[in-house]
Chain A
Amino acid sequence: MASGQQWVLVEMVQAFYEAPAYHLILEGILILWIIRLLFSKTYKLHETYKLTEREKEDLIEEWQPDLLVPLISKDHPSLKYNIVSGPPSHKIIVNGKECINFASFNFLGLLDSERVKEKALMSLKKYGVGTCGPRGFYGTFDVHLELENRLAKFMKTEEAIIYSYGFATMASAIPAYSKRGDMIFVDEAACFSIQKGLQASRSFIKYFKHNDMEDLERLLKEQEVEDQKNPRKARVTRKFIVVEGMYINTADICPLPELVKFTNNKFQIL
């Protein structure tokens, strides 16, 4: 009601007169500041913009992707494959000409062995050609298990595992053990499938010169120094050395006895 309101107003005006000066000045400044903030323009860090639908459509219309694959010239050297007709054994018929075969990896000549062919045929008559499933879902045959046992005995290890694609073996085995953050020391001349495995594993890679044990020793010593600086990290970082028995790129053999001797059972060799 009017009288009630007036009465409150009188109280207010009285309080206004009774307040100390500094208080009034402070309040006044604050009120002025608020008014200023309310009316000032909004401040952005940088220009953000929203595109209109029209602009988006234009961008979509204008975008041209690259070709899916770059064009290959007709005389690229790898384009025409040599066609081999007939069995790839010691004498091989390439593009119609008979040649002596120095190109296949048929080191032991087992491609021609009659015994191997007979056994393969027997297996074909028993199992058919394909396995129709991965190892986990009824794709494991008794012959797989037998092969793994024999391989383990042959290589004098406890167990063995087989893969269906040679390239994929190394490319899957390395990331299975070595994860992000681990260290791998690799020979420079490692083959392509090792390189793919290293890429997939996301670990730290250090290359040492091909078959150079001093270089490897130097790298290992450096790593030890690093480890001492940060022992907690060293305790959870796994370290591997990856070498090949016979290098496909340079055709020599890795010095395994020396390698084992000087790593002195401190590293895992793959």
Chain B
Amino acid sequence: MTESPASKPASNGEVCPHARNGLKPERNGFLKSLQQQSRHRDRDRDEEEQAFLATFQQSRSNIPPGFLPSGSGRLPARSPGLAEVHAALHHGGLYNRPFLESFEETPMLVAVLTYMGYGILTVFGYLRDFLRHWKIERCHIAREKEEQKDFVPLYQDFENFYTRNLYMRIRDNWNRPICSVPGAKMDLVDRVSHDYNWTFEYTGRTVKAVINLGSYNYLGFAENTGRCADAAAEVSMVYGVGVASTRQEIGNLDIHEEMENLLARFLGVESAMAFGMGFATNSMNIPALTGKGCLILSDELNHASLVLGARLSGSTIRVFKHNNMQSLEKLLREAIVHGQPRTHRPWKKILIMVEGIYSMEGSIVRLPEVIALKRRYRAYLYLDEAHSIGALGRRGRGVVDHFGLDPRDVDVMMGTFTKSFGAAGGYIAGKRELIDYLRCHSHSAVYATSMSPPVVEQIITSMKCIMGEDGTTIGSDRIRQLAQNTAYFRRRLREMGFIIYGNDDSPVVPMMLYMPAKIGAFGREMLSRNIGVVVVGFPATPIIESRARFCVSAAHSRELLDQALSAISEVGDLLQLKYSRHRIQPSGARPFDDGVYEDVDD
């Protein structure tokens, strides 16, 4: 039964605290369908709604502390769906923990100013191009050689307008070279530019002990000492550093087999196969799974590797709105009912492609609902856990573990070793038939060199560490530390008044900057305070939604995070980045409760 928030006492925090996070029911299709259900509760329900309602149970109130409401917080005027929002977030049948995601709306003034900023930059860009064309200003761009002057130019001038005039101005925020382990702290190579970022010179100095908020080091395995590094060193002395052959020929070492068996056990599936590069895993194996006559339903914000793989496969691609189950269901129904376009033949298979954590938004896929849809419509599910493997879940087994689901429900589990395991490469895991097929037909197995031995050993050691099989509790300690750090970091940033996107459990924290000039300013100001952050703009994000993306790591201690947070707050005040209209009053120093993961049944 849904309760109106007015009747619930605010003290025990059962009222949905995230009324203030701007969660709009329209943005999330599932909420909308639940809203409609509550309105049509007394009418005859459609069969499809019955399928969902069959799993609807009494909600469980289990909100981790840190998300407590405050009595005096400014609550915006809410639509009548607040009670339904509360129910939706806690319907215990599909979700065993509250799914709290927020994407606060861009404030109107900020949007207008951002567009104005881009407009001014464009005008200046045209002016500069004009000056360059008439040789008043020196031209630094790559040009064809003298003898190739008759050739058609490799790059049309207009295509590169953005690169020349906008990207070049703030180029020093990217491709910063480092010269140490990319752990919690790193050393940057000092570089200066005397011609406004067209060329860089290395002064020879290094900037020491920069706090690293940019590397994908979720569990802190990027280290050069300790068990993993020692094991990798040993193996590279014995096996050498390279393999120089493909998997099908003579490049299949015994440690490859060991790693794949361990990986299959880690994920809880029948078998697994590893490849040398995460990007290439997607782009080379999706064409092996689908072809002409198949349909791929891919999320709006899927990674470039998934998009490339889908395009190379030759299947029809349809895109559904980001994490929106209503949109996905509509596409599924339409696809099955109407069949292939024009011929109306039935589709050979339908593949739903989603990611575990979307790295630019910080949102987590609604996996229970996707699996329910997949079962109902007999589609196949391809889950790309590039960021979520190791980073989510009570035992670190990824988004499937996070929601407490059965890994056998996901048809193709894909992931990478670059992020949480501190190695390199990617894997695909699933049923034995799938992996046997890939062993014979994958482009990578036939043509690409197999993984190098020290990397494989690093994966084996770090995976054993996470699973606890090496006899220590380092793995589970790190997983807990990451969860604590994530919750703390997100809570503090929210309290400071920044706009943070994404799910409250995801260690990827995008903070909105919006204006083009602030992108460069934020990166540089943070570096001058000895903190390295990642800023992203167009074209990785929509044009006005540029952001800074923090990657919380288990290697960060509480003091480091505090240091970073105070610097972020300082820069935020300096650059006026605290856009959020929904400030949370800081709740008292409440320690993280380990009870977050305890309700998950083993």
Contacts and interface: CB of A to CB of B under 8 A. Distances in A.
Contact of B214 (A94, A137, A165): A137
Contacts of A224: none
Nearest to B210: A138
B277 interface: yes
Interface in A218-255: 235-239
Contact of B222 (A89, A104, A112, A128): A128
A76 B507 CA distance: 43
Interface stretch (A7-15, A16-24, A30-38, A191-199): A191-199
B154 A238 contact: yes
A66 B178 CA distance: 49
B61 interface: no
Contact of B447 (A88, A167, A265): A167
A69 B287 CA distance: 12
B176 A138 contact: yes
A106 B249 CA distance: 13
B245 A104 contact: yes
A192 B447 contact: yes
A145 interface: yes
A126 interface: yes
Nearest to A58: B337
Contact of A193 (B180, B181, B447): B447
A141 B174 contact: no
B418 A177 contact: no
A135 interface: yes
B358 to A, nearest CB: 16
A126 B412 CA distance: 36
Contact of B279 (A117, A128, A168): A168
B242 interface: yes
Nearest to A121: B233
Nearest to B454: A129
A82 B412 CA distance: 25
Contacts of A130: 221-222, 417-418, 421-424, 455, 458
Nearest to A64: B378
A168 B439 CA distance: 19
A162 to B, nearest CB: 13
A56 interface: yes
B422 A129 contact: yes
A82 B249 CA distance: 7
B307 to A, nearest CB: 11
A193 B444 CA distance: 10
Interface stretch (B77-85, B127-135, B342-350): B342-350
Contact of B422 (A70, A126, A128, A192): A128
Interface string A85-129: 111110010100000010111100001100011001100111111
B411 interface: yes
A79 interface: yes
B257 A126 contact: no
A137 B174 contact: yes
Nearest to A191: B447
Interface in B183-219: 183, 186, 189, 212, 214-217
Contacts of B350: 65
Contacts of B418: 130-133
Contact of B253 (A85, A133, A199, A200): A85
Interface stretch (B17-25, B144-152, B571-579): B144-152
Contacts of A121: 233, 236-237
Interface string B157-183: 000000000000000001111111111
B189 A142 contact: yes
Contacts of B216: 132-133
Interface stretch (B360-368, B429-437, B562-570): B429-437
B240 A236 contact: no
A132 B437 CA distance: 30
A154 interface: no
B239 A86 contact: yes
Contact of A125 (B174, B229, B280): B229
Given A78-B440, A104-B250, A137-B174, A63 B233 contact: no
A138 B532 contact: yes
Contact of A81 (B174, B214, B248, B423): B248
A133 B215 contact: yes
B276 A165 contact: yes
B143 to A, nearest CB: 12
A25 interface: no
B390 to A, nearest CB: 12
B419 interface: yes
Nearest to A101: B250
A2 interface: no
Contacts of A83: 252-254, 257
A132 B425 CA distance: 11
A205 B358 CA distance: 36
Nearest to B239: A87
A141 B241 contact: no
Contacts of B380: 65, 68
Contact of B458 (A68, A76, A103, A129): A129
Given A65-B349, A117-B241, A138 B280 contact: no
A59 interface: yes
A133 B411 CA distance: 28
A53 B245 CA distance: 56
A26 interface: no
Nearest to A238: B152
A1 interface: no
Contacts of A86: 238-239
Contact of A103 (B247, B250, B346): B250
Contacts of B147: 265
B437 A69 contact: yes
B580 interface: no
Contacts of B253: 83-85, 88
Given A89-B240, A139-B182, A165 B437 contact: no
A92 B348 CA distance: 45
A69 B439 CA distance: 12
A84 B245 CA distance: 11
A28 interface: no
A112 B244 CA distance: 12
Nearest to A80: B439
A214 to B, nearest CB: 24
B308 interface: yes
A164 interface: yes
Contacts of B183: 128
Contacts of B228: 129
Interface of A: 51, 53, 56-57, 59-60, 63-72, 76, 78-79, 81-89, 92, 94, 101, 103-106, 111-112, 116-117, 120-121, 124-133, 135-142, 144-145, 164-168, 171, 177, 191-193, 196, 199-200, 235-239, 265-266, 268
Interface of B: 46-47, 147-148, 150-152, 154, 174-183, 186, 189, 212, 214-217, 221-224, 228-229, 232-233, 236-245, 247-254, 257, 276-277, 279-280, 283-284, 289, 308, 311-312, 333, 336-337, 346-350, 377-380, 411-412, 417-419, 421-424, 433-434, 436-440, 443-449, 454-455, 458, 532, 534
Q: Would you list the 9 A-B pairs with minimal beta carbon distance, nearest first?
A: A165-B277, A69-B437, A81-B252, A167-B448, A132-B215, A103-B250, A129-B458, A104-B244, A78-B440
Given A72-B433, A84-B251, A168-B283, 20 more contacts: A63-B336, A65-B349, A83-B257, A84-B253, A88-B239, A88-B250, A88-B251, A111-B241, A111-B242, A124-B232, A130-B423, A132-B215, A138-B534, A140-B176, A140-B177, A164-B277, A164-B424, A165-B280, A239-B152, A268-B151
19 contacts: A72-B436, A81-B247, A84-B252, A89-B240, A92-B250, A120-B241, A121-B236, A124-B232, A133-B216, A138-B176, A138-B214, A165-B276, A166-B449, A167-B444, A167-B449, A192-B447, A196-B443, A200-B308, A236-B152
